[in-house]
Amino acid sequence: MDIRILRYFLAVAREESISGAAKGLHLTQPTLSRQLMDLEEELGVKLLNRGKKNRHITLTEEGMLLRRRAEEIVALADKTIAEFDTAQEIISGDVYIGGGETNAMRLIAKVAKKLQAKYPLIRYHLYSGNADDVAERLDKGLLDFGLFIEPANMERYHYLRLPDTDTWGLLMRKDSPLSAKESIQAEDLENIPLIVSRQSMVRNELSGWRGGDFDKLNIVATYNLIYNASLMVDEGFGYALCLDRLVFSAHNNNFCFRPLEPKLEAHLNIAWKKYQVFSKAAEKFLEALQEEIEIHRI
């Protein structure tokens, strides 16, 4: 059943005549009669009482029920068409974003907040994981965008470098002897129990900073995401090498964070697959993100 046939049926109901309705619809009478008979056959009921005298048409009980329903359906269809005609652009849909734990997610949130005012029908779905997890889901098409902390392999993607950077350092309890230092040097890591990221590229980066084999340190645990590692730090199990502003140590009486010296920063990229076909919602998000990045560059 399509709306066009329902419009034909309503015209006949109004005119109480197939010939009169056919004239108004610019159809031949046989064509309209055939359409109505097909509608009755599709629904399995008789809709019209076809009078012999003056070819007067009345509705059966089933016809009266269909008339009420058809009026509702056609009115809704007309309203929908009118909304699309009057609105310049109605955008709805889902945007899927994955990323590791980083304060740069605040920029994502800021962009989403701005878009919400203009496109309130866009919904956002966040996935937390390390670079390997995010890359896998991005490659499978389960994410529109992936947020990567450098170092990361970006050869397969288009990407934008975000204006924010994170700094590597050591998360520890405030009662640790190292908390008295303003920064952490390579020799400070020699004899302490370390909790480190299991990402090989991150470990290589830290090896380069240290100027030696990172695996020769006293690594007592590895982590995927920092929150659980921070609980082990809180229990005095070890020290976590991580990025700043993730555990919010300033708001936790037990933690403190000390940056590495010389300073080791991590740039941040948001990436998407090459030749990616975006939904309208994802397109708008990317446009807004590009605008926000340009604002920060000014």
Residues 268-291: tens digit of each pLDDT: 899 999 988 898 899 999 999 999
Going by pLDDT thresholds of 50, 70 and 90, the confidence category of residue 157 is very high
- Token reading at 93: 């849909």
CA terminus-to-terminus distance, the chain: 57
User: Which residues 6+ apart lie within 8 Å of 5 measured at CB?
Assistant: 35, 38, 39
Q: What is the pLDDT of residue 250?
A: 47
- For 219-229, how does the pLDDT look when each residue is reduced to its tens digit (9 = 90+)? 999 988 888 89
Distance CA 130, CA 287 (A): 25
- Give 93's pLDDT tier (boundaries 50, 70, 90): confident
Residue 132 pLDDT exceeds 70: yes
pLDDT over threshold 80, residue 51: no
Q: Residue 179: its pLDDT value, please?
A: 94
- Distance of alpha carbon 80 from the chain centroid: 26
What pLDDT, on the 0 to 100 scale, is given for residue 262? Answer: 93
* pLDDT score for 254: 85
DSSP, residue by residue, 28-89: -HHHHHHHHHHHHHHHTS--EEE-SGGG-EEE-HHHHHHHHHHHHHHHHHHHHHHHHHH-S-
Core vs surface per residue 14-31: b (16+ CB within 10 A) or e: ebbbbebbbeebebeeee
Beta bridge partners of 239: 194
Q: Amino acid identity of 48?
A: L
**Residue of 37 and 82 predicted with greater confidence:** 37
The model's pTM: 0.63
**Helix (H) or strand (E) run with residue 162 in it:** strand 157-173
The residues, ordered by sequence, that sit 6+ positions from 151 with a Cβ below 8 Å of its Cβ are 201, 202, 204, 205, 266
Q: Closest by alpha carbon to 29, among 17, 38, 19, 20?
A: 19
